[in-house]
Structure 1
Amino acid sequence: MANSALDFSAFSSSALSAEETQLIEASVAQFGAPLLLLDCEVVRQQYRALARALPNVTLHFALKPLPHASVVRTLLAEGASFDLATSGEVELVASQGVPADKTIHTHPIKRDSDISDALNYGCTVFVVDNLNELDKFITYKDQVELLVRLSFRNAEAFADLSKKFGCTTEMAIEIITQAQQLGIRIKGLSFHVGSQTSSPQKYVDAILACKQVMETIVQLGLPALSTLDIGGGFPVSYAKQITPIEIFCAPINEALASLPQTVQVLAEPGRFIVAPAVMSVASVMGQAIREGKMWYYLDDGIYGSFSGLMFDEADYPIVTVNQDTQCFPSVLAGPTCDSIDVVAESIMLPKLNNGDLIVARMMGAYTSATATDFNFFKRAQTITLNEHENIQTLVC
């Protein structure tokens, strides 16, 4: 089935275009519901936008939010590199022909099998944030280069990843010193300021702190560090507009310019690349009036594609294919027998019939990746659009 590239990232709950409606109805007619429509053209657009905004940074796509083969192939064709965290992710990129030298392994805590699996593939750059983890690389010291991850707490982020991972600047210096004694090469530093970070100042502060650590390392007579990984967390618009990425990244670029020219800078974008690239489609299974509100029960919910409402705190813009202007306070519930399986409360919707379609935008990150088959409701099928540039296709 042919189609043109669609703007799945349309801000807020704007009405569907005629083209979107046609695609959605044709897809449901062919594949059924629920569905996730993945537009690889949007993936390309997002990658290119971030590459322009961070012109001197090597982008390693973090597979975690959407580990899909079509996304890997699309980004590989764009020249992207990849950020891996598990052996499963290693298997995915290997199966899609990603050269190992375009990957880094950034999980701070690993089993020996995780290290050996990545090394067998050819990935040689790993992350540590404590001395116990450093000791795991003694056996592999002639094969690896390490990044030491620092912690920069960020209570404003959707997910403050520095709560679980990262070390202080003082500990980073201790790790680097110990590594030198063990004969393990430390390549550089890394950090992650947290998912959906609203202020670029968090990156600026972390970059400048890492710069100080790099200067201290040289003063101590240890080998100079050649790499800084600034992580991910670049924000996208869900229910409210955020700063355009080129403006958001301007102070980050200014801070990076203060680093020695010999320092290579990496980033690990995930959500920014894929969140706008997926639109979900669910159908109304049934309906009931409860406490004066109409409840619509969908064939997708919290345990499926809307899992991000639980794990990610995302606020997905929701629209209906039925575009009647008269709307009523309504509730959207998922299909399972669990009472927490509610997608939206007090949402204004037109009167819907069984079989009508509900569409959510910005569904590319932490949706299908965290979906389950709970209650034996099968998770939504992902349909790929426009994987090959300039060739408009829709495939299962």
Structure 2
Amino acid sequence: MSVSSFVSPVIDAFGAESTTNTTEIELIESLARRYGAPFLMLDCDIVRRQYHALKEALPGVVLHFALKPLPHPAVVSTLLAEGASFDLATTGEVELVQSLNVPADKTIHTHPIKRDRDIRDALDYGCTVFVVDNINELEKFVAYRDQAEVLVRLSFRNPNAVSDLSKKFGCTEQGAYAIIARAFELGIKVKGLSFHVGSQTLDADKYVHAINRCDAVIRGVSSQGLPALEVLDIGGGFPVSYDDTDVNIYSFCAPIREALAQLPATVNVIAEPGRFIVAPAMTSVASVMGQAERDGETWYYLDDGIYGSFSGILFDHGHYPVDALYWQGERFPSVLAGPTCDSIDVIAETIMLPKLNNGDLIVGRMMGAYTSATATEFNFFKKAQIIVLNEFVRDESLAPVVALEI
């Protein structure tokens, strides 16, 4: 049996009956005894499950995992073995995939604004596809026009997304025509178009609109006698549920599939999923290191917090389902605070929890995206170690494999 079969559905952070089962409790207790808290459990079986679910929902679309939400070697190795490609944005990410022997032709570099050395580092590795969204950026590739190809990123604003990524990056449709025409003059190959409708996009019509507008640009470019565009990158932003709301990714992607079917047959489609692949794959475990009664509530001070694994509360607008490992019994109004001396370091207020003792464990779900990746060691509290589960595909009759990330 794989460890992923032990992992329960999301625990309601507001006091609904927990679904943590005995086997998972035993696993968490065992890991806590062996490694100490805080720690994060990264289940590679869930990474595989999420990848294949999105592959099924978007048949024919080449998925480039975006490293930034969880740039962990086990995630990269797991996805590489499943056939995934990768989306890179920094030299550090280039170095990570290179160290893990990811073939360079399975990567693209999608940061719209780059230093010259960023371009050179990627090209030295063998990554040759880059993203631009303005003439200034395009002209950086004059020196590399015999090696590099570019995608032109368009902006489609989406203020309802958790993060409207078209606010910071992307050009208008007319801007795209201007960039493509200038690239032709400079001898730089434009391979295609890209967009990103924003993180945690709950409305598939945002993708449909962007695909349709890009389709118009692709056809318009050909009608103007410019070289045909070969690629459309539809970005990421595919939603996952942080509560008990059901997100059926196959149904969600149905209108996206319909829109993609209208593209010219010569256009290859790629995507850059990040959060969808890894958010459900990591669970946090922290321990109570102290407590106090304040204004009728019990404050529990944990050894992990806002400056650590729960950094996504600030940086990612995150709301993670948390509960006590031992959830049974009467519940009382409580506050979960982090370990640092900063008053902003509060994970959850007015949360209903059973009475806890020092040393008791608190479990956080959906902790794979923008948590460890954005954690700090402020106040010299060390980042939670990552414990990797099910990294290697194996016979299901074998016991769970647990490998400690050093």
What range describes the TM-score normalised by the shorter chain of this pair?
A: over 0.9
User: Per-residue deviation at 1:8?
Assistant: 4.3
* Alpha-carbon distance in 2 for matches of 1:261, 1:350: 58
* Alpha-carbon distance in 2 for matches of 1:9, 1:225: 45
1:9 touches 1:276 (CA, 8 Å); kept in 2?
Answer: no
* Alpha-carbon distance in 1 for matches of 2:20, 2:42: 16
Structure 2 counterpart of 1:395: 403
Match of 1:356 among 357, 360, 365: 360
* Alpha-carbon distance in 2 for matches of 1:183, 1:8: 53
* Alpha-carbon distance in 1 for matches of 2:4, 2:345: 32
* Alpha-carbon distance in 2 for matches of 1:150, 1:94: 29
Per-residue CA shift, 1:265-306, capped at 9, x if unaligned? Answer: 000000000000000000000000001100000000000000
Structure 2 counterpart of 1:10: 9
TM-score by length of 1: 0.98
Residue identity over aligned pairs, in percent, reads 66
2:57 is the alignment partner of 1:53: yes
Matches within 5 A, 1:157-306: 157-306=161-310
* Alpha-carbon distance in 2 for matches of 1:333, 1:187: 49
* Alpha-carbon distance in 2 for matches of 1:290, 1:328: 13
2:70 is the alignment partner of 1:66: yes
1:281 touches 1:360 (CA, 8 Å); kept in 2?
Answer: yes
* Alpha-carbon distance in 2 for matches of 1:185, 1:330: 58
User: Per-residue deviation at 1:63?
Assistant: 0.1
* Alpha-carbon distance in 1 for matches of 2:232, 2:90: 21
* Alpha-carbon distance in 2 for matches of 1:259, 1:207: 8
User: Per-residue deviation at 1:12?
Assistant: 4.1
User: Per-residue deviation at 1:9?
Assistant: 6.7
Structure 1 counterpart of 2:124: 120
User: Per-residue deviation at 1:10?
Assistant: 1.4
TM-score by length of 2: 0.96
Q: Summarize the Cα distance change of 1:8–1:107 in structure 2 as closer, same or farther, 3 Å threshold.
A: farther
Structure 2 counterpart of 1:321: 325
Query: Which is worse superposed, 174-183 or 236-245?
Result: 236-245
1:63 touches 1:270 (CA, 8 Å); kept in 2?
Answer: yes
| Partner SS, residue 163 of structure 1 | coil
2:138 is the alignment partner of 1:134: yes
The one-letter code sitting in structure 1 at the alignment partner of 2:371 is T
Q: Summarize the Cα distance change of 1:65–1:110 in structure 2 as closer, same or farther, 3 Å threshold.
A: same
Structure 1 counterpart of 2:15: none
The one-letter code sitting in structure 1 at the alignment partner of 2:403 is V
Tell me the matched-pair count. 395
1:8 touches 1:42 (CA, 8 Å); kept in 2?
Answer: no
Structure 2 counterpart of 1:102: 106
Per-residue CA shift, 1:153-186, capped at 9, x if unaligned? Answer: 0011000000000000000000000000000000
The one-letter code sitting in structure 2 at the alignment partner of 1:4 is V
* Alpha-carbon distance in 2 for matches of 1:242, 1:193: 21
* Alpha-carbon distance in 1 for matches of 2:8, 2:105: 32
Per-residue CA shift, 1:221-262, capped at 9, x if unaligned? Answer: 101100000000000000241430000001000000000111
* Alpha-carbon distance in 1 for matches of 2:361, 2:11: 18
* Alpha-carbon distance in 2 for matches of 1:218, 1:322: 63
* Alpha-carbon distance in 1 for matches of 2:91, 2:229: 27
User: Per-residue deviation at 1:116?
Assistant: 0.2
| Partner SS, residue 162 of structure 1 | coil
* Alpha-carbon distance in 2 for matches of 1:35, 1:229: 35
Q: Which runs of 5+ in 2 are unaligned?
A: 13-17
The one-letter code sitting in structure 2 at the alignment partner of 1:64 is K
* Alpha-carbon distance in 2 for matches of 1:300, 1:233: 27
1:6 touches 1:39 (CA, 8 Å); kept in 2?
Answer: no
User: Per-residue deviation at 1:314?
Assistant: 1.6
Per-residue CA shift, 1:165-210, capped at 9, x if unaligned? Answer: 0000000000000000000000000000000001100000000000
Q: Which runs of 4+ in 1 moved over 6 A?
A: none
Per-residue CA shift, 1:331-365, capped at 9, x if unaligned? Answer: 00000000000000000000000000000010000
2:8 touches 2:21 (CA, 8 Å); kept in 1?
Answer: no
Tell me how large the CA RMSD over aligned residues is. 1.1
